[in-house]
A and B are shown apart, each in its own frame.
Chain A
């Protein structure tokens, strides 16, 4: 019986060692790769994708999916910028407003999935279209600048405790990870997320209001998207309405590589974080070896394929 728990640990160790091996490989191949500056760059690029992946981990665990995370991220920071620039919100309120927008988008998807019984794939695809369109309409296809908010860029790019290169964004990411981990492993939300993904009918028969919890799960995903949007816009100093679509693939990949099962019921926040780092290291490393972005897409695609395949093998192994 003990072997089961150690298996879960072993699985995390395996992906962690994949990460380490990849890192060492690139460090040997390229001398600048392991430099402090580059490591910080990798970490910074992990923040946005990592936060998105954390949110989508909840959805995938319920055997659902959220395809709208990338565009919700964009929409919430565009709206935050509009509130700040055009409506005269103070910056702190504008940021909160961004979170409200993200949470509301997620809640709407959740409503469509839980109450209206739409397939998650369709409901969130529609949400993707709506948020992408709205971002472009509202912004007039122009970046929304935060130049009038002094210090907005410091939210992500300021040095933490004055340490140079150690960006605030990491600290915020770590906060996000801790929140996600607590929610996932230490609260009813996480427990019921897994229960629903494992056997929705049994969960319902155990007296759990599955509809309510599913809606909350999508709302969590929307809130994490808004969080990612905050980091993203702070990094760039503006909200870019064209960005967003396509981010969901990498986030889903991070979650699946991290051991979240597409068929629901199991997943791991730490695994998702490692998965996000694997993707960043891979992208950064390939780029440092002058591999074109196109090949990077292929490699990322194959890594995702591999992760999905291992997930299937694991499932079949259990069935047998």
Chain B
């Protein structure tokens, strides 16, 4: 019927789009090679495992933010979700003597509710997500400061430390395994489920999605809920590392998370991005931090560098979109 032959070419969008989609991976590989060659400390097994472990929880948190950004929204409240999880989990276990399993489920539920509130404010309240989540962030922060009086809650059972510092087969850090498992599950969801596809559709064109019969409100809210829960999972890992609940644990993370998500090739206007891009983005950022520490560069230069990276990536992204 069609005289036009289907080419086997699987990639749409031409070479530039192809290059941009994989640019982060190419850059990452280049970065790792440069670091390995130039610094002997960097290329030790120990250090590399360290980088992986440090990147793992932040990348889980970034995967949550990824879904929100994929639908074209923004969640500023993750820093507070992280602080809340850390404080309440430690509080439930240490102060109330709750079994860890129940405390875990409880804080995950609480984070889901936070996500639900964000989602409802944005989707039904029609508030700009940036403002709605900023408000939720402030209120939430106050609540867990009240609960903890701003003090750390230490004394979690040392078995919990495994979550943050354990090893699988005595070589691979447990957090890394956890990150990979979560990444694979989420990847499968984005690729092989209807709802996963709907995130892309809503971010790509919300009105067209609605007119295609997709329940865009549900999808919008689900993205925030996922973000809340995944931030909470990451926060539990961070808490396990120090074995104490800490109010300030998430405070500087929003920058990093935003940078990671954007670095991973996720479009800020929604509709484009990959889970594994986020993972590589997290590794990328961690390698840079690690390398700067090894070169004994002032840590605060990292912020400057990250700020510049964020702008550079968004810029390249908006330029590639113009065609």
Contacts and interface: CB of A to CB of B under 8 A. Distances in A.
Interface secondary structure of A, over-half rule: helix
Nearest to A305: B135
Contacts of B304: 129-130, 133-134, 137
A312 B127 contact: yes
Nearest to B305: A133
A262 B300 contact: no
Interface string A280-320: 00000000000011111111111011001100100000000
A133 B314 CA distance: 20
- Interface centre among B142, B149, B315, B318, by most A CB within 10 Å? B142
Contact of A301 (B135, B255, B305): B135
B314 A122 contact: yes
B268 A122 contact: yes
Contact of A121 (B74, B126, B306): B74
B302 A112 contact: no
A133 B301 contact: yes
Interface residues of A, number: 40
A121 to B, nearest CB: 6
A312 B304 CA distance: 36
A302 B311 contact: no
B165 interface: no
Contact of B142 (A119, A125, A126, A298): A298
Nearest to A133: B303
Given A121-B74, A127-B307, A297 B300 contact: no
Contacts of B131: 262, 308
Interface secondary structure of B, over-half rule: helix
Interface residues of B, number: 40
B141 interface: yes
A298 B315 CA distance: 36
B319 to A, nearest CB: 9
B149 A308 contact: no
A112 B258 CA distance: 17
A297 B142 contact: yes
Contact of B307 (A65, A129, A302): A129
B128 interface: yes
Contacts of B303: 129-130, 132-133, 136
Interface in B136-180: 136-139, 141-143, 145-146, 149-150
A295 B127 CA distance: 24
A60 B257 CA distance: 25
B96 interface: no
Given A137-B301, A301-B138, A294 B149 contact: yes
Enumerate the 6 nearest inter-chain pairs by beta-carbon distance, A residue then B residue, closest first.
A133-B303, A298-B142, A301-B138, A294-B145, A129-B307, A297-B142
Interface of B: 74, 125-128, 130-132, 134-139, 141-143, 145-146, 149-150, 255, 258, 262, 268, 298, 300-308, 310-311, 314-315, 318
Interface of A: 65, 112, 116-119, 121-123, 125-130, 132-134, 136-137, 141, 249, 252, 262, 292-302, 304-305, 308-309, 312
6 contacts: A122-B262, A126-B307, A137-B300, A262-B128, A308-B131, A309-B125
